[in-house]
A and B are shown apart, each in its own frame.
Chain A
Amino acid sequence: MAINILEPGLATTVQDQGRPGYYNVGIPQGGAMDSLSAEMANALAGNTAAEAVLECTYLGPKFTTDADAVIAVAGAPVDVKVNGEPRPQWSRLELAAGDEVSFGMLRGGTRYYVAVSGGIDVPVVLGSRSTYTLGAVGGFEGRALKAGDTLPVGTAIDVGTGGSERTEFEEALRPSFDKEVTVRVLPGLYDHRLTEEGLDTLLSATWTLTPVADRTGLRYSGPDIAWKPRTQPFGAGSDPSNIVDAGYAVGSIQIPGGKEPIVLHRDAVSGGGYAMVATVISADMDLLARSAPGTKTSFRAVTLEEALTARAEGREARSRIWG
């Protein structure tokens, strides 16, 4: 079976759970930005969590399938249409061969996911089907989709081998796409390079997500943040926010020149010369991926122990998808 792309949408890519293990040579983990929504779409389409899905950003694709198919759409709220007729999100959808699937405007959030029974069956590159567009690695020809692309679809997964039987998710189980979010962060890395007041500002101000937000990272506007002046070490660059180029943690926050913090996300650049001062905990990375530009965001400090507790809670919640 195959999916025929009639219109590609703004930045539609194939993503799965990502490509760990190559960050040391600059290839990011990749994978669905809002991993929970992607996983829920897979569950509704009768898949396991590992199948590749379509990540749709702002403006979705228009497509047909060349055979009867089972699909599901989960994530940011959007009108789903089959042959122009409205169909529900968060629900298993049966398609007949040739049915045309299209999407309306987003009503919140940034990304939604289209899963198809059997998964998008592009070649596995370095252990993953995720698209890393900057390196032209993985996904469909290493790039965002174009009109005329034909995406191969895998064989439906048997319930006995982990295929989900879930056909819908009630509202209480779905993530929310709020205009105000609190994101938990662990201060650290180079936070000692900020003035006390600067760190306090980062952790107490209300930040606004700017339109400069993509799979690499998200930039926030708000007050300036003061770095401690110092004589820079050899090789570090001249600004107090510079360090000798180092590896960047995914989720880490950098504040180049003391203005507009940037949080790195799943297609992070793997290193560079800006000091990181805190890192979004793993449990809250999806929250960033769901944020639309304009979202009011607070960064709340937690301890490593609290981050691990939140991680365990997130894992527990995720297991209920498959229960």
Chain B
Amino acid sequence: MTDTAVQRTDARYTWGGDEFLFVEIAEAMSLAANYKANAMAALLTARSLPGVTDICPANASLLLRFNPDILPPDRLEAEVRGVEDEVAHSSHQTLDTRIIEVPVWYDDPYTRETGARFRKGHQRPEGTDLDFAAEENGLASPAEFIRRHHESPWLVSMVGFVAGLPFMFQIVPQKDQLEVPKYLSPRTDTPALTVGHGGCFACIYSVRGAGGYQMFGIAAAPIFDPAQRLADFRDFMIFFRPGDIVKFRPVEEAEYREIQAQVDAGTYTYRQAPVVFDLQRALDDPAAYNKDLLERLHGN
């Protein structure tokens, strides 16, 4: 798919039983398809239709759960088609959101240890997932892959799989997207806060468990806090929302430990700033747009 602004082509509507409506916006991933999913979700949330219980924007699709006893399927479909039309014809393709800095200790010993435990059956049994990712993308070294990973910001294109796990899509032209195949056979264990990558998507594992994404490092601070101990979680136990923009910042062990100490003391807060996501600017000149986003993050 080429990088064009919001798709005016019709989405595909299909039912997931008698309680779910699935709207496939595009078969392929793109910023434009994701924008449309988030914009439709935002409009539907604002309408607060009685009978709609869950509005779940995903990478290039939208899933709605509804109670057909309150809102019959044909009326729901008409409402959603109306919203789709509104998004397609709005002149300003923007979403109010925020940019967040996420400190990551890349190539850390915890991730190395986990990777070593699941080497058997890996595409590249020798070396690490980072070695594999660098090779797959034709990059000179793991260090170069890491630089590309944190250099440009990522859009949270979907939150889910398990509680609070963000899928992220980098705001760069498609030719510059980092692509890495998933594990051939999923791992039975992944530490919480592992920074992973599968296909064109980055993720941060929110809880410990199974996983199939390649592993590059570990985020220093929580993204899911059921006890709601930290200030960033006072309103809700889950940190990320679809549409958030993430800038990874590499940290070394000393700073990782310092952040951990702040988390333990309950004083850690993420650096973040409100921004407006502008689809056209992100598509037309991602480099300039990303520079602008990072200036917002740093309060310039």
Report which A residues bind B (CB closer than 8 A): 20-27, 125-126, 132, 134-137, 142, 185-186, 188-189, 233-238, 243-252, 269-273, 276, 279-282, 304, 307-308, 311, 315
Q: Cα distance A245–B157 when bound, in Å? A: 10
Residue in B59, B73, B163, B198 whose beta carbon sits within 8 Å of that of A134 in the complex: B163
Q: Cα distance A272–B165 when bound, in Å? A: 11
Q: Cα distance A22–B69 when bound, in Å? A: 21
Q: Give the 6 A-B residue pairs with the shortest CB-CB distance, closest first.
A: A249-B16, A247-B63, A235-B29, A279-B17, A233-B28, A135-B163
Is the Cβ of A135 less than 8 Å from the Cβ of B28? no
Given A237-B182, A271-B58, CB of A20 within 8 Å of CB of B162: no
Given A25-B159, A135-B207, CB of A238 within 8 Å of CB of B181: yes
Is the Cβ of A20 less than 8 Å from the Cβ of B53? yes
Is the Cβ of A25 less than 8 Å from the Cβ of B58? no
Report which B residues bind A (CB closer than 8 A): 1, 14-20, 22, 24, 26-30, 41, 53-63, 65, 68-69, 73, 158-165, 167, 174, 181-182, 198-201, 206-207, 209, 224, 226, 237-238, 240-242
Q: Cα distance A135–B237 when bound, in Å? A: 10
Given A246-B61, A276-B16, CB of A269 within 8 Å of CB of B54: no
Query: With A185-B17, A281-B17 given, can you name 17 additional A-B contacts, CB distance below 8 Å?
Result: A26-B161, A135-B224, A142-B226, A186-B18, A233-B1, A235-B28, A236-B27, A245-B58, A247-B56, A247-B58, A247-B63, A249-B20, A252-B16, A270-B160, A282-B18, A307-B18, A308-B68
Q: Cα distance A323–B281 when bound, in Å? A: 61
Is the Cβ of B158 less than 8 Å from the Cβ of A245? yes
**Which residue of B is nearest A142, CB measured?**
B226
Residue in B16, B55, B161 whose beta carbon sits within 8 Å of that of A272 in the complex: B161
14 residue pairs from A and B, CB less than 8 Å apart: A24-B55, A24-B242, A135-B207, A235-B200, A244-B26, A245-B58, A245-B59, A245-B167, A246-B60, A249-B20, A249-B22, A271-B160, A276-B16, A282-B19
Residue in A23, A188, A233, A307 whose beta carbon sits within 8 Å of that of B14 in the complex: A188
Q: Cα distance A273–B174 when bound, in Å? A: 20
Is the Cβ of A136 less than 8 Å from the Cβ of B226? yes
The residues of A that contact B167 with a CB separation of less than 8 Å are 245
Q: Cα distance A100–B169 when bound, in Å? A: 55
**Which residue of B is nearest A191, CB measured?**
B14
Is the Cβ of A134 less than 8 Å from the Cβ of B162? yes
Most buried by A among B41, B69, B238: B238
Is the Cβ of A246 less than 8 Å from the Cβ of B59? yes
Shortest A310–chain B CB gap in Å is 8
Q: Cα distance A185–B41 when bound, in Å? A: 27
Q: Cα distance A181–B31 when bound, in Å? A: 44
Is the Cβ of B199 less than 8 Å from the Cβ of A237? yes
Residue in A137, A188, A235 whose beta carbon sits within 8 Å of that of B163 in the complex: A137
Q: Cα distance A246–B18 when bound, in Å? A: 18
Q: Cα distance A189–B182 when bound, in Å? A: 24
Residue in A135, A236, A249, A269 whose beta carbon sits within 8 Å of that of B17 in the complex: A249
Is the Cβ of B161 less than 8 Å from the Cβ of A271? yes
Is the Cβ of A25 less than 8 Å from the Cβ of B17? no
Shortest B193–chain A CB gap in Å is 14
The residues of B that contact A126 with a CB separation of less than 8 Å are 237
Q: Cα distance A276–B61 when bound, in Å? A: 13
Is the Cβ of A311 less than 8 Å from the Cβ of B226? no
**Which residue of B is nearest A135, CB measured?**
B163
**Which residue of A is nearest B45, CB measured?**
A24
Given A234-B1, A271-B161, CB of A24 within 8 Å of CB of B200: no
Is the Cβ of B199 less than 8 Å from the Cβ of A252? no
Q: Cα distance A22–B238 when bound, in Å? A: 10
